[in-house]
Amino acid sequence: MTRFIFITGGVVSSLGKGLASAALGALLQARGFSVRLRKLDPYLNVDPGTMSPFEHGEVFVTDDGAETDLDLGHYERFTGVAARKTDSVSSGRIYSNVLEKERRGDYLGKTIQVIPHVTDEIKDFIAIGENEVDFMLCEIGGTVGDIEGLPFFEAIRQFSQDKPRGQCIFMHLTLLPWIKASGELKTKPTQHSVKELRSIGIAPDILVCRSEGPIPDKERAKLALFCNVRPEAVIAAQDLSTIYDAPLAYHREGLDQAVLDAFQISPAPRPELSRWEDVSDRVHHPEGEVRVAIVGKYTQLEDAYKSIAEALIHGGMANRVKVKIEWVDAETFDTKDPAPYLEGFHAILVPGGFGERGTEGKIKAAQFARERKVPYLGICLGMQMAVIEAARNVAGVATAGSEEFDHEADKKRFEPVVYHLKEWVQGNYTVRRTTDDDKGGTMRLGAYTAVLAEGSRVAQVYGASQIEERHRHRYEVDIKYREKLEAAGLCFSGMSPDGRLPEIVEWSDHPWFIGVQFHPELKSKPFAPHPLFADFVRAAKETSRLV
């Protein structure tokens, strides 16, 4: 029997509900239970795939090709459970499913309403794969009281009623503001938020309260009394210096115990926390520091590159160094010498991205890294830019460019070294695309295999001859230029199994220069750093010793 934990938020958004859910998932695993985490988002986009990173942060891609919320990244990083398409849903998707059924005539002439049709659709989603795991954790995006969130709150209320007593619990995350002038931690916003929740029929079993410091007994008792929860189920979530302390911190505060108590699971299995103790030890006791530049476009919003930043931290853990990330806006040196901006870094990473803005700066960053022998990791667009740089400056294709960019003005002179991918093999069939396709969900998405060249650096880094990594791209390096580029020294060290799509390139005569068409950052975990990131940081550490 699967037990369900519904996680809601109140008072303000951005309290770290995703992180709390992920940490709880990790703690339940540490007690020997299997878990799956799901995110239900009230916005109307069908998925976040079409949203700007400035709006929504990074788009997290699953193996089965779903474009999802970045919280799914936290879930995977903390539990190691690979997220699936069926772990993320939005109002947009729910309504689109309901309307599709209505058009098909599935509702047999009924009037379609939020209750029961929309709420049923949400409940069906929650129940997918029921009984596969011991605990299903479902996080509801937004805060209680948001108009668009109401159907989700109503659906989880109904869901808990449909199940036998004791199979579902509710955990509510709120904020206890600290009023400096009076030196008090205020409980009133939490009381109001719980009142709002109870007015729609949901009584929380556990309150997780974000606060700057500990919760004094007096405030804890007050919260318990006014919000109708047990005092031990009021959990303090104090600000932490690193997210990787969250499982241990929540454990100390008694979160996992409170959850097991709420389900009346007794005796509670003892937790095995050595994995998190090791992770925490590695974060807090580095033996050095490396400086890595991320040369991107969405640098004002660090969430836009969330998984990359985390994967670099994991790479640091693997090498026992602190990775100091500095965000460099590629556009600043589109038409300038990048040296003043890039000198002094121990490694350079150019991440994924869309559109032309800043790409000349990224090309310059790749050139700088190649010429100065600085370790370089190019991810997706970062690989494409490294290839264009190689074509222009080493292989003699002076007008190399990408079809993604507007080259109307010099169409005749521009050579599409990176072209719009219209056809590729997925499993047993061929996917076809045109330039007029919808933008949503039409990229080459999800896990694809790459075959690694024997003796290449990547084969050595992965310790394998074949890998599976997650993709999210519409453009691709044209195989037509392989010969010219390889003659110039840029080795195509990873290819799709049919040999048509370049997946990895590397400079053979460079200490560490790798470009990958996929997103390795999505699979890195603190307790299992991704080999590419671990080795990239190792190379950075080497550079730091030389300077």
Chain residues in the site for ligand GLN (CB under 6 A)? 352-354, 380-381, 404, 472-475
CB of 29 to ligand GLN, least distance (A): 31
Give 57 or 141: the residue with its C-beta nearer to ligand GLN: 57
Run of H or E residues at 1: none
Residue that is written with structure tokens 């772990």 in the block: 87
Residues whose CB is less than 8 angstroms from the CB of residue 35 and which lie 6 or more positions away in sequence, other chains included: 25, 28, 29, 79, 81, 133, 134, 135, 136, 137
* Residue of 107, 123, 177 lying closest to 6 (CA atoms): 123
CB of 234 to ligand GLN, least distance (A): 43
**C-beta separation of 246 from 227 below 8 A:** no
- CA–CA gap between residue 143 and residue 12 (Å, rounded): 7
Catalytic residues: 380, 519, 521
- CA–CA gap between residue 332 and residue 334 (Å, rounded): 6
Distances (CA, A) of 50 to 16, 305, 350: 24, 16, 21
CB of 67 to ligand GLN, least distance (A): 11
Give 374 or 380: the residue with its C-beta nearer to ligand GLN: 380
CB of 59 to ligand GLN, least distance (A): 9
What values do phi and psi take at 297, rounded to 5? Answer: -110, -30
DSSP state of 330: G
- CA–CA gap between residue 112 and residue 3 (Å, rounded): 30
Q: Which stretches does DSSP call E strand in 52-133?
A: 60-61, 67-68, 88-90
How many Cβ atoms sit within 10 Å of the Cβ of residue 151? Answer: 21
Q: Which residue's beta carbon is nearest to the bound ligand GLN?
A: 352
CB of 502 to ligand GLN, least distance (A): 12
CB of 232 to ligand GLN, least distance (A): 46
Give 312 or 381: the residue with its C-beta nearer to ligand GLN: 381
CB of 352 to ligand GLN, least distance (A): 3
Give 169 or 330: the residue with its C-beta nearer to ligand GLN: 330
- CA–CA gap between residue 357 and residue 367 (Å, rounded): 18
- CA 127 from chain centre, in angstroms, equals 23
CB of 370 to ligand GLN, least distance (A): 20
Count of alpha carbons within 13 angstroms of residue 289, beta-carbon side: 7
- CA–CA gap between residue 248 and residue 121 (Å, rounded): 36
Give 31 or 473: the residue with its C-beta nearer to ligand GLN: 473
Give 418 or 485: the residue with its C-beta nearer to ligand GLN: 418
Residue type, 177: P
DSSP letters, 251-307, are HHHTHHHHHHHHTT--SPPPP--HHHHHHHHHHH--S-EEEEEEEES-TT-GGGGHH
**C-beta separation of 172 from 237 below 8 A:** no
DSSP letters, 386-437, are HHHHHHHHTSS-TTEEETTS--GGGTTT-EEEEEE--EEEETTEEEE--TTS
What values do phi and psi take at 204, rounded to 5? Answer: -65, 145
Give 43 or 475: the residue with its C-beta nearer to ligand GLN: 475
DSSP state of 309: H
Give 260 or 369: the residue with its C-beta nearer to ligand GLN: 369
CB of 401 to ligand GLN, least distance (A): 13
Give 18 or 515: the residue with its C-beta nearer to ligand GLN: 515
* Residue of 371, 266, 349, 395 lying closest to 532 (CA atoms): 349
DSSP letters, 160-201, are HHHSPTTSEEEEEEEE--EETTTTEE--HHHHHHHHHHHHTT
CB of 236 to ligand GLN, least distance (A): 39
Give 380 or 450: the residue with its C-beta nearer to ligand GLN: 380
